[in-house]
Amino acid sequence: MTRVRAAADELAGLFVDDRLFALALALWLAAMAGAGALGIATPQARAPVLFVGLAAILLASVVRAARR
Amino acid sequence: MNTGLSVAAPSFLASLVEFVEALTIVLAVGATRGWKNAGTGALAGVAALAIAVAALGPALGRIPIAALQLAVGILLLFFGMRWLRKAILRYAGVLPLHDEAAVYAATAGRLGATALPIGGRDWSAIATSFNAVALEGLEVVFIVIALGATAGALAAAAAGAAFAAAVVLLAGFALRAPLARVPENTLKFAVGVMLSAFGTYWTAEGLRFAWPGSDFALLGLVLGFLAASGLAVLLARASLRARGTGAPR
């Protein structure tokens, strides 16, 4: 059981390092998926907005880590 | 855009980083506990990865392409942005740079401190070598499948990784020392930018968003992430200076 858990942790570690950063990315993706489902903005506008949000999360997370 | 090259290049660079990290550990095991143990562990790691690929690979073909793009896009996004964030923090001086020579010395010191078994196999050495190859190799497998399967260029992605393996193995065999002069953080930075761009592109495609400029949007995403990362490095250094801890370079 311990080995299975260790393997699962290693696998999760491939994608998640800073939990707050990963949570912010997940929430942004969920919000964009919701916007798509509700038909908010045109499909052509949603893709660039997705990138802008991701870039903003990256900037905020880096600055937060530097300030800690 | 040349899909084969645009997939093979990030696959090669990302695999290069992972193979260098695995080689460092295998070399440390070989130098301290014998090359037979290091080789046994490394081969077992390669075999475990081959079994995983053989088991999971055929299943990918049965997943609808839109679902595959969304799932792989999201995973690639998390994977790439994790790399990019770490590379930015290392460039800015918030985190120390990854030092292959230090990793080599630490592994060799840890293994050298334990007594060699009399007769039989050295399981501690084999396990260390196995873990290094299996874990770093798992990242290579993920990158190859993620880049190759969604773009329909699995052969190009695999070729990029195979070329990286050949380069690292030849260099490691020739030097018998960790490849400490490989600019690992620069490679991670570049690969982080590329994987984040691919992840964003396919996530949006999976969500049925439309990219202005179609495939050429990928180039725009690379430039966009590059600009955002450069700005992030500057902001992080400014934050460090404001705290009075100083920032290198």
- CA torsion angle for B235, B226, B20, B40 (degrees, to 10)? 110
Q: Do residues B122 and B33 touch, judged by C-beta distance below 8 A?
A: yes
Nearest CB neighbour to A59, from listed B89, B203, B228: B228
C-alpha B112/C-alpha B133 separation (Å) is: 20
Q: Which residue has the higher pLDDT, B12 or B173?
A: B12
Q: Is A21 in contact with B81 (Cβ distance < 8 A)?
A: yes
Average pLDDT (B182-194) is: 87
ipTM (interface pTM): 0.91
Q: Is A66 in contact with B240 (Cβ distance < 8 A)?
A: yes
Would you state the pLDDT for residue B118?
63
% of chain B with per-residue pLDDT over 70? 94
Average pLDDT (B176-191) is: 80
Q: What angle do CA B20, A21, B97 make, to 5 degrees?
A: 35
CA distance, residue A47 to nearest chain B CA (Å): 6
Write down the pTM of the prediction: 0.82
Average pLDDT (B20-33) is: 88
DSSP helix/strand/coil, B207: coil
User: Over chain A, what is the mean pLDDT?
Assistant: 90
Q: Is A46 in contact with B207 (Cβ distance < 8 A)?
A: yes
Q: Is A62 in contact with B92 (Cβ distance < 8 A)?
A: yes
CA distance, residue B239 to nearest chain A CA (Å): 6
Q: Tell me which chain B residues have a C-beta less than 8 angstroms from the C-beta of A59.
A: 228, 231-232, 235
- pLDDT tens for each residue of B125-138: 899 899 989 988 98
Q: Is A58 in contact with B79 (Cβ distance < 8 A)?
A: no
Q: Tell me which chain A residues have a C-beta less than 8 angstroms from the C-beta of B221.
A: 51
